Amino acid sequence: MKKNITINIKGLVFHIDEDAYEKLNQYLNEVKHYFSHQDGASEIIDDIEARISELLAEHLDNQKQVVTIKDVNHVIKIMGTTAEMQEGKNAEEEAFQQKRAKRLFRDPENKILGGVAGGMAAYFNIDALWFRLAFVLLSFFALGPLAYIVFWVAVPMARTTAEKLEMKGEKVNIDTIERSVKEELRDLGQSLNSYANMAMRSFDKNKSSFKKTGNVAADGLMDILRFALKVAGVIAGFFLLFTALSLVTVIMAGLFFPEVTHFLIEDLPLTFHAPAFAEMFFSGGLDFTLLVLGLVVVVGLPLLALVTLSIRLDIRTSYPDRHQRKHCLADMVCCPLYYRCRCAFYC
């Protein structure tokens, strides 16, 4: 049994297997991106979609009603991958493509929040650390988080191999794509190898524990260290969240009800009260909404960033499985104890 999706390509309705849909969707995205710099791009893509729809329709009849991954592969073979289209280009078009400059993307492989700094690093060919540092420093002026959010929203993620190459400013053709895919595979192979080694070592551990006492001890130490770090991470995340939330509450409350801050810190030299502040700056006491607004931007936004950051950190450690994350909000609200237990369990 397989789950099916209903799609509509140029007016024809198809029932398509989920995996086939993923493949077709990815292919169409690649094609769209490939032609996006060309004159009449939308028309070309419309033509291609119409042809795909026609080819798929040829494969179906009353007996066979569902588009499978085999059909999609067949269609892609007929239409050609973007790399094959590249080979069929004439010199004029090729020259046009070579002129294409680097583009700013968000880098999914080098990201902490949204990959903005990673993308900038690829664009300017500077280590991402500097951009991260800059954003953190800027966050003291509230500009950082704001700028970051703007970039996050405005800059697209580099999803396909072609986009990743474009992000680094490499010419997109079959050779560079092949190279990049090979690199990715090699990385994957290496990490698989190291997993295999780890498994072998733990097997050895059981079989002849006295043989590699030194190694095993080192391994055990690393495991404990890793565990301790994770625990520390969860605790830190929790406290960050708690601190940030209380600070936000106190400051917001204090702005408008000075009694709150006075109640908490009795001998506060200055009243942390918006109207009082305004009094200091505008002796006439006229327009203080501006000042309040400024305070909110300067103090409130970095704190808000801190809150979201700590929540994300927390959720990532407690819900390693992506698909379960949708439940986490409900857990957090309805049963904080259960949520905490998950954190403890997963680290």
Partner 1 sequence: MKSEKAKAQLRKGILELCILSILENREAYASDIIARLKQADLIVVEGTLYPLLTRLKNNGLLEYHWQESKSGPPRKYYKLTEEGKATQQALKTDWFVLTDQVNRIIKEKEDIS
**Residues near partner 1, by CB under 8 A:** 10-12, 31, 35, 38-40, 43-44, 47-48, 50-51, 53-54, 57-58, 78-82, 84-85, 87-91, 93
Which of residues 16 and 31 has its CB atom nearest to partner 1 in the complex?
31
Q: How far is the CB of 6 from partner 1 (least distance, A)?
A: 17
Q: How far is the CB of 39 from partner 1 (least distance, A)?
A: 6
Chain-centroid distance, C-alpha 83: 27
Contact 142, 297 (CB under 8 A): yes
The number of beta carbons lying within 10 Å of the beta carbon of residue 191 is 10
Residue 276 token pair: 């009082």
Which of residues 74 and 316 has its CB atom nearest to partner 1 in the complex?
74
Contact 67, 20 (CB under 8 A): yes
Task: Find where tokens 């109207």 sit.
Answer: 275
Under DSSP, the state recorded for 106 is B
Which of residues 176 and 243 has its CB atom nearest to partner 1 in the complex?
176
Angle between helices 116-124 and 128-138 (to 10 degrees): 130
Which of residues 61 and 266 has its CB atom nearest to partner 1 in the complex?
61
Q: How far is the CB of 101 from partner 1 (least distance, A)?
A: 21
Residue 212 token pair: 């590699």
Q: How far is the CB of 19 from partner 1 (least distance, A)?
A: 22
Measured CA to CA, the distance from residue 40 to residue 240 in angstroms comes to 52
Which of residues 52 and 116 has its CB atom nearest to partner 1 in the complex?
52
The string of DSSP codes covering 151-210 is: HHHHSPB--SHHHHHHHTT---SHHHHHHHHHHHHHHHHHHHHHHHHHHHHHHHHHH-TT
Q: How far is the CB of 51 from partner 1 (least distance, A)?
A: 7
Which of residues 36 and 215 has its CB atom nearest to partner 1 in the complex?
36
Q: How far is the CB of 66 from partner 1 (least distance, A)?
A: 18
Contact 331, 339 (CB under 8 A): yes
Q: How far is the CB of 49 from partner 1 (least distance, A)?
A: 9
Which of residues 30 and 314 has its CB atom nearest to partner 1 in the complex?
30
Amino acid at 58: E
Q: How far is the CB of 119 from partner 1 (least distance, A)?
A: 29
Q: How far is the CB of 95 from partner 1 (least distance, A)?
A: 13
Which of residues 57 and 224 has its CB atom nearest to partner 1 in the complex?
57
Measured CA to CA, the distance from residue 199 to residue 186 in angstroms comes to 20
Which of residues 30 and 331 has its CB atom nearest to partner 1 in the complex?
30
Distances (CA, A) of 241 to 58, 138, 144, 249: 57, 21, 20, 12
Q: What is the dihedral of CA 12, 14, 18, 21, to 10 degrees?
A: -30
**What is the radius of gyration, based on Cα positions, of the chain?**
28
